[in-house]
Chain A
Amino acid sequence: MFVTDIRKEFYDVVVNQRVALFVSPDIDALCACKVLQALFHCDQVQYTLVPVAGWQDLGTAFMEHKEQYQYFVLINCGANVDLLETLQPEEDSVFFICDTHRPVDVVNVYNDTQIKLLIKQDDDLGVPSYDDIFRDDEEDEEGDGDDSGNESDGSAEPSGKRRRYDEDALERRIERQRARREWEARRREILFDYEQYEFHGTSAALVMFELAWVMSKDTKDMLWWSVIGVTDQWVHDKIPHMKYVTDIATLQRHVSRHNHRNEDEENSLSIDCMRITFEYDLRLVLYQHWSLYESICNSCYTSCSFKLWSINGQKKLQEFLADMGLPLKQVRQKFNSMDMSIKENLREVIEESANKFSMKDIRVQTFAVNFGFKNRFLASDVVHAAAALLENVEKDEMPTDNFIKALDCLSRSNLERLHLGIDLAKKKLKAIQQTVASCICTNLILSQGPFLYCHLLEGTPDVKLFSKPLALTLLCKYLLKFSCVCVFCFIRSFFGRAFEKAAESTSSRTLHDHFDTSVIELKMEDRGKFLDALITLLS
């Protein structure tokens, strides 16, 4: 069931208990986790944090901890399947689910005792009403029982009466069965419509931050984490732009509230304190930690608009730089070493020129954090850094190690880790850019009817990088943008269900382990028949 008062029904319940936290490996979940951890530290709630990479991990972790814990908090996992069916918990286990995956499974919505959903109900959820899906089966059984009862009773009676009874009973039974079949058909249709498309709801970090705010325990650190959570959803294209803008507006109110607190004092804040500022900044990825040129080449938006894989595109880029009056030497330098005169009006200059080159949205609303003299990070920088750390395939480490590293880099005291993450992110973006360019140049993208299909061969460099879901999603969005085809609004995707059905029908050996159901693992041999099934399904 949905929780209406998150403070009373969630926090006050767990504050005197011990809690197990299961967190899925995405940045929004990490941020929500940090906010919740900070709250728990405040109130000294004992907890155990376990990173879970997929459904199997969740199952194992639950098995290990179910005897010791009664309350479980799941972050960004568990809302979109029937949790009680999957985990088979005891009667007294209670699950608090803060998940952005939609649609929420109907069993989770209508379970009153064990499942509590920490989800804002004003999100467009469209949950079907209870009566449409669930029905008291007792009515039917009673009715049938009556009939059979009547029959057995009727056997004692004279045959004339009995015949009339039989006919009536039979008619009623047929009627009831027909009504039942109709109801079931309608139910199937409703459920199909409901579960067809998958999308994401409000960021989990934002939900947790609002909980902290309601309890007046919110701090700037928590605010920053929720900013990162929302930005992560936007960077990985999980939410439409309008929703992102709305969420940013909400956060902006909080930011100004926090900043306003400090302006009243006579002495201004020490330079070491954290300051969050609202920025209408460029959409160039990591540009303040890289050179402007590199950033333009490796950002999805700009390199798609210029079509930088072609020679024409390169020429256009040179024109663009010339139009702004930026010498190449400056632009290829590290951003921090560029001339001050150039840096001063950079944003406005770029926006003007970008408009001429039909890039209308080169600027986007976001936030930046400042602490100390040389530490300044945009929210998207941190998102890319943390994502690169989370899916680091360079050293053969366990996924939980990477999880811990990414979690660490979100704290202010671990700046070296953040810088390491930024370096890894640069490598990752370059790899994506190169792969995309090679795919397009060698025509590896095939149109398979309703969708585009691209097969990355074993020998391509950096192919290991793309075995992780987040990097893979970035690559796919990139490719789609490159092909200038927008087949469906991929904010709501139906790939998840389609994959499941295709897998069933061809009995291919697939692994639907990731929480994000649009990512699956499939055995090479079954690839052909799986794709054929998918084509037939979607056309």
Chain B
Amino acid sequence: MGIIRNLSTNLTVIRQSLLRNHQKTIMSRKVHASRTEGVDKNVWVEFTQLAADYKAVNLGQGFPDFSPPEFIREAFCDAVKGGPAMHQYTRAFGHPPLVKILAKFFSRIVGHEIDPLEDILVTVGAYQALFSAFQALIDEDDEVIIVEPFFDCYQPMVVMAGGKPVYIPLRPREGSAVLSSGDWVLSAEELASKVTPRTKAIVINTPNNPLGKIYKLEELQMIADLCIKHDLLCFSDEVYEWLTYDGAKHVKIASLPGMRERTITIGSAGKSFSATGWKEAVARGFEREYEVFGTPESYFQQLPAMLHSKRQKLATCLQSAGLNPIMPEGGYFMIADISSIEVDLNDESNKDEPRDFRFVKWLIKEKGLATIPVSAFYSSEHGKEFDKYIRFCFVKEDSTLKAAEDILKKWSQKE
């Protein structure tokens, strides 16, 4: 009796306070799902806001500030003007004209038949392709090997799928001067040591963001051998596949023997056609590219050729400013070593952050130049080894690069 009376008194009190607080306290228990815990910070959200706030010359987030090519814009306009069907639902797993040309285009490259309806899934950007791969194939407690530096979303996506990320860093080769992304390598022994009975998959990104490394055939073979030996899946993020320099060859790991059945290869129209905001692909773009592939007409030749000179220009600028660039073999990013720069990063508000984060913020606020800190692409275990690098994006108009050059020149002259 006493217990019941106590209970009902307590309940009344709780109910009353709930009613009083109902404007603010919605749930007395946790609202959000556990899968959203620990994945709420995002480097892009943080730094694009800062770059915008300070109106910095933006070599930070990776998107072109020049137009996509004419033919793709025309294809887009034609689609918009097309009949009502163009504005309504299409086939869920990919618009038929698009998957057909993707199958045709990539079959020719990999040398085996790709079935447009069974072997291809069109997604909202490569981001969603990654998300779908992790959600579909990674279970609670599966381990996923991630090669560092990695595009930042791999880690939260593995975590959100209940998996456990296992990191292995690319390291600059011992001995020789490290001037190119090709000098950053994986240790075969170290990689093999990361495999356990719970390892489900390995994620690779070639050309790599942020380093620009293009994995050579031998390097991919080493990874493939491990995948076959331990029956692992391979998620290969190849969004920058057309952006290779100096004759470096992009190799698709899925084309190696034994890999086709265990590899998901990811591509992007945004990166292929300089239209990152579309997050969709246009069949016409690929149809056109199919016809002119390998000729000087091909956008997939013209874009890397155009970016080649921008890459050179940026490297030269950085060197004269006392920053040591790592020449990328592919992609449109360049990382530079800031160790030799001595500045007073006099900001109390971020003194607990890694050095590169603090440096980037200083560079935005004091010099009006936006970049991205490279330790954002590393796990917390390894971030400290790599917090002396910052990432520049060079898929920008010459005027943008010139503005960046002016900032760097002025800065180096003052010192």
Partners in one complex: no
B positions within 8 Å CB-CB of A:
none
A positions within 8 Å CB-CB of B:
none
